[in-house]
Amino acid sequence: MEIISEWGFLFIGMAVVFGLYMSWGIGANDVANAMGMPVGSGAITVKQAIIIAAIFEFAGAFIAGGTVTKTIRKGIIDPSSISGSPELLVYGMLAALLAAGIWLMIASTRGWPVSTTHSIVGAIVGFAVAGIGVDAVNWGKIGSIVASWLVSPLIGGVIALLLMLSIRKLILNTENPFDKAKTWGPVYIFLVGWIVSLVTMFKGLKHLKLEFTAVESFVAATIFGIFVAIIGKVLINRIQVDESADKDYHYASVEKAFTPMMIFTACAMAFAHGSNDVANGIGPMAAVVSVVQNTGDIGQKAGLPLWILVLGGVGIVLGLATMGYKVMQTIGTKITELTPTRGYCATLAAATTVVLASKTGLPVSTTQIAVGAVMGVGLARGVGAIDLRVVGNIVLSWFITLPAGGILAAAFFFLFKGIFS
pLDDT digits (tens, 9 = 90+) for 102-156: 999 999 999 999 988 888 888 988 988 988 888 888 888 788 777 877 888 899 8
Q: What pLDDT sits at residue 299?
A: 60
| pLDDT at residue number 302 | 59
Q: Tell me: the pLDDT tens digits for 153-191? A: 899 899 999 999 999 999 888 888 888 888 898 898 899
Interior angle at CA 103, CA 101 and CA 106, nearest 5:
110
Strand partners, 303: 68
pLDDT value, residue 67: 47
**CA proximity to 333, closest of 302, 374, 294:** 374
Which of these, 213, 218, 229, 215, lies nearest to 195 by C-alpha position? 218
Over the chain, what is the mean pLDDT?
83
Has residue 248 got a pLDDT over 70?
no
Q: What pLDDT, on a 0 to 100 scale, did the predictor assign at position 247?
A: 66
What span, in angstroms and rounded, lies between the C-alpha atoms of 72 and 116?
Answer: 16
% pLDDT > 90, the chain: 23
Range name among 83-87, 114-118, 322-326 with the lowest pLDDT average = 83-87
pLDDT at 421 over 80: no
Q: What is the pLDDT of residues 1-46, one digit of tens each?
A: 677 778 888 989 999 999 999 989 988 998 888 888 888 888 888 8
- Tell whether the model's pLDDT for residue 68 goes beyond 50: no
pLDDT digits (tens, 9 = 90+) for 209-222: 667 788 888 899 99
**Average pLDDT over every residue of 302-310:** 73
Rounded distance, CA 155 to CA 351, Å?
11
pLDDT at position 301: 60
Q: In terms of C-beta distances under 8 Å and separation of at least 24 residues, what long-range contacts does 4-8 make, across chains too?
A: 4/86, 4/87, 4/90, 4/291, 4/292, 4/295, 4/296, 5/295, 7/420, 8/292, 8/295
Q: Can you give the pLDDT at residue 246? A: 66
Proportion of the chain above pLDDT 70, given as a percent: 87
DSSP output for 35-92: HHHHHHTTSS-HHHHHHHHHHHHHHHHHHHS-SEEESSGGG-B-GGGGTT-HHHHHHH
What integer pLDDT is reported at residue 209 of this predicted model?
A: 65
Report the candidate in 281, 206, 202, 268 with the shortest Cα–Cα distance to residue 29. 281
Indicate yes or no: pTM above 0.75. Answer: yes
pLDDT at 74 over 70: no
Distance from C-alpha of 253 to C-alpha of 178, rounded to nearest angstrom:
7
Q: Please give the single-letter amino acid code of residue 283.
A: G
Residues 6+ apart with CB under 8 A from 25: 100, 101, 103, 104, 105, 108, 116, 119, 281, 319
Q: Mean pLDDT, to the nearest integer, of 81-104?
A: 87
**pLDDT tens-digit map of 382-406:** 888 999 999 999 999 988 998 999 9
Torsion sign (Cα): 391, 395, 401, 404:
negative
Q: Using CA atoms, how far apart are residues 393 and 395, in angstroms rounded to an integer?
A: 6
Would you state the pLDDT for residue 261?
76
